[in-house]
């Protein structure tokens, strides 16, 4: 195995400390797996044969880093550095095989002896790495720690590995155990999963074994809930397809937003990437989740009145339960509540009836999040199943036009000097509580060129007195 500890100064320090105490040190788990896959690991798990308290204390001193001690079933000393995470765990030196067999999957149960440079592989994990398959070690792997139910799909998605059939069956039989796990652990695994791109097929497997419905009960009611004639699929299949097209869109963001304005959007996207990606995927799963509860059929016509409002309420319940980051929750709720809005703009654009006023109102209301909403609307539209390739390109052209309007016209207009400053508007007699409304309407009318001079602006403001 090609692993040079000399290239990791922090790990080299740990090895020196262990040698001084005459203690064996093994690298195990995902780091060994990643090195065998020619990937550079950032998470390092080490087994220490003895004296872990002394080694942990000295390692903290040498690296000037405090450890976090986890003491649930086993004691783990965790160090979080700028470029990596290091976990130290003590084990019985005479029973290394048993220690490795207590781990989750065969590909994570491989140890590397830092002294002899030899590999210990009691569960034949190297063979599973070569065959690109995730396989559980024992029948009790999910009972021992049910978080592995989600981790199974996250690791498979991350490595683009298959999941062994028997492992999938064992997971299916244990999905009810997911409720025995602390919600914050579930959130961490879900967020890691969502941040991996190309996870759609693994999400389908999660849904197939019932794990998705076990995590989010209301989603189970979407199964078999048919929609209007504009949709080919039931609500659940549509929502999963939206998730698929969200991932498709993320990979093609430059093409979708348009090269002309991509650099402007990318600055915002890059600084909020994690929150936007997770929010887009959560919105895909939840934007229609209330449809089964509000479905109405009148003369053969199916409708779902105010489903977006009730869907947002359902998501809020899970946002609280799993304590998703506030910014993620805010963007997700925004996308759910407003996912129908872009369709109205698109119809006007397609019929050549889209006015500057409609565009201004849209971005004045939503700001740069309006671009996020348009990206989500693209995924929602494509997921209906009746969109031909040519129509896909038409919607992308629409999205490009909207993005260019926002960055090239709307934002540039806001940078221009104001005809009337806020203090001047107040001096005209406008009450403080009405000031923001007056300013917004004044700006809009100036943009639409209904007001061109200061005298016209003053006359407009006086109408509010």
Q: From first to last of the 465 residues of the chain, give the pLDDT tens digit.
A: 777 777 788 999 999 999 999 999 999 999 999 999 999 999 999 999 999 999 999 999 999 999 999 876 788 999 999 989 999 999 988 899 999 999 999 999 999 999 999 999 999 999 999 999 999 999 999 999 999 999 999 999 999 999 999 999 999 999 999 999 999 999 999 999 999 999 999 999 999 999 999 999 999 999 999 887 777 789 999 999 999 999 999 999 999 999 989 999 999 999 999 999 999 999 999 999 999 999 999 888 899 999 999 999 999 999 999 999 999 999 999 999 999 999 999 999 999 999 999 999 999 999 999 999 999 999 999 998 766 665 788 999 999 999 999 999 999 999 999 999 999 999 999 999 999 999 999 999 999 999 999 999 999 999 887
* Residue 359: predicted pLDDT: 97
Structural domain includes residue 196: no
* Residues 16, 113 within the same domain: yes
In terms of DSSP H, where are the helices of 258-352? 259-271, 273-286, 291-294, 307-322, 326-338, 341-350
What's the CATH code of the domain at 47? 3.30.460.10
Q: How many domains does the chain have?
A: 4
* Residues 368, 429 within the same domain: no
Rounded alpha-carbon distances, angstroms, from residue 460 to 69, 360, 370, 395: 65, 19, 29, 38
Distance CA 74, CA 29 (A): 16
* Residue 391: predicted pLDDT: 76
* Residue 89: predicted pLDDT: 95
Structural domain includes residue 207: no
User: Encoding tokens for residue 322?
Assistant: 């799993």
Domain span holding position 284: 216-414
Distance CA 462, CA 457 (A): 9
* Residues 38, 160 within the same domain: no
* Residues 330, 442 within the same domain: no
* Residues 90, 176 within the same domain: no
Helix (H, G, I), strand (E, B) or coil at 150: helix
Angle between helices 165-173 and 148-159 (to 10 degrees): 150
CB atoms within 10 A of CB 151: 22
Distance CA 199, CA 183 (A): 22
Quick check: 232 and 385 in contact, CB under 8 A?
yes
Q: Which residue has the tokens 């308290």?
A: 53
Distance CA 137, CA 252 (A): 38
Structural domain includes residue 204: no
* Residues 147, 57 within the same domain: no
Structural domain includes residue 430: yes
User: Encoding tokens for residue 297?
Assistant: 């059929």
* Residues 237, 343 within the same domain: yes
* Residues 385, 436 within the same domain: no
CB atoms within 10 A of CB 223: 13
Structural domain includes residue 203: no
Structural domain includes residue 9: yes
* Residue 388: predicted pLDDT: 65
* Residues 9, 35 within the same domain: yes
* Residues 252, 382 within the same domain: yes
CB atoms within 10 A of CB 301: 9
Structural domain includes residue 194: no
Quick check: 42 and 75 in contact, CB under 8 A?
no
* Residues 427, 383 within the same domain: no
Structural domain includes residue 195: no
Q: Which residue has the tokens 């409720």?
A: 179
* Residues 273, 334 within the same domain: yes
* Residue 389: predicted pLDDT: 61
């Amino acid at each position: 195995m090609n692993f040079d500890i000399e290239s990791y100064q922090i790990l080299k320090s740990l090895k020196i400390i262990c040698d001084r105490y005459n203690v064996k040190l093994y690298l195990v788990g995902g780091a060994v797996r990643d090195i065998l896959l020619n990937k550079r690991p950032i998470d390092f798990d080490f087994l220490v044969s003895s004296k872990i308290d002394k080694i942990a204390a000295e390692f903290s001193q040498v690296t000037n880093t405090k450890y976090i001690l986890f003491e649930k079933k086993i004691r783990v000393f965790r160090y979080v550095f700028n470029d990596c995470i290091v976990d130290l765990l003590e084990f019985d030196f005479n029973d290394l095989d048993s220690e490795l067999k207590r781990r989750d999957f065969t590909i994570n149960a491989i140890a590397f002896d830092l002294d002899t440079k030899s590999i210990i592989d009691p569960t034949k994990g190297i063979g599973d790495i070569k065959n690109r398959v995730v396989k559980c070690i024992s029948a009790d792997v999910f009972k021992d720690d049910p978080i592995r139910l989600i981790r199974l799909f996250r690791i498979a998605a991350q490595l683009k590995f298959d999941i062994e059939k028997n492992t999938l069956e064992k997971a299916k039989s244990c999905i009810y155990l997911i409720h025995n796990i602390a919600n914050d652990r579930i959130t961490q695994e879900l967020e890691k999963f969502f941040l991996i791109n190309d996870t759609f097929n693994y999400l389908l497997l999660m849904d197939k074994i019932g794990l998705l419905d076990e995590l989010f009960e209301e989603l189970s009611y979407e199964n078999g809930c048919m929609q209007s004639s504009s949709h080919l699929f039931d609500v659940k299949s549509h929502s999963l397809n939206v998730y698929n097209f969200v991932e498709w869109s993320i990979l093609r963001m430059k093409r979708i937003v348009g090269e002309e304005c991509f650099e402007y959007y990318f600055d915002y996207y890059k600084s909020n990437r994690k929150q936007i990606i997770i929010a887009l995927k959560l919105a895909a799963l939840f934007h229609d989740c209330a449809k089964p509860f509000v479905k109405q059929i009148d003369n053969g016509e199916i409708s779902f009145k105010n489903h977006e409002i009730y869907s947002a309420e359902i998501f809020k319940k899970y946002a609280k339960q799993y304590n998703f980051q506030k910014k993620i929750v805010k963007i997700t709720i925004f996308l759910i509540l407003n996912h129908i809005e872009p369709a109205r703009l698109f119809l006007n654009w397609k019929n050549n009836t889209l006015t500057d006023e409609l565009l201004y109102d849209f971005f004045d209301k939503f700001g740069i999040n309006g671009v996020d909403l348009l990206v989500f609307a693209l995924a929602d539209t494509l997921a209906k199943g009746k969109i031909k390739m040519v129509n896909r390109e038409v919607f992308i052209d629409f999205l490009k036009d909207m993005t260019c309007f926002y960055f090239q016209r709307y934002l540039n207009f806001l940078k221009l000097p104001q005809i009337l400053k806020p203090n001047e508007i107040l001096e005209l007699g406008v009450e403080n509580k009405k000031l923001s409304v007056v300013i917004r309407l004044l700006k809009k009318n100036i943009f639409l060129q209904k007001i061109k001079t200061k005298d016209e602006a003053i006359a407009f403001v006086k109408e509010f007195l």
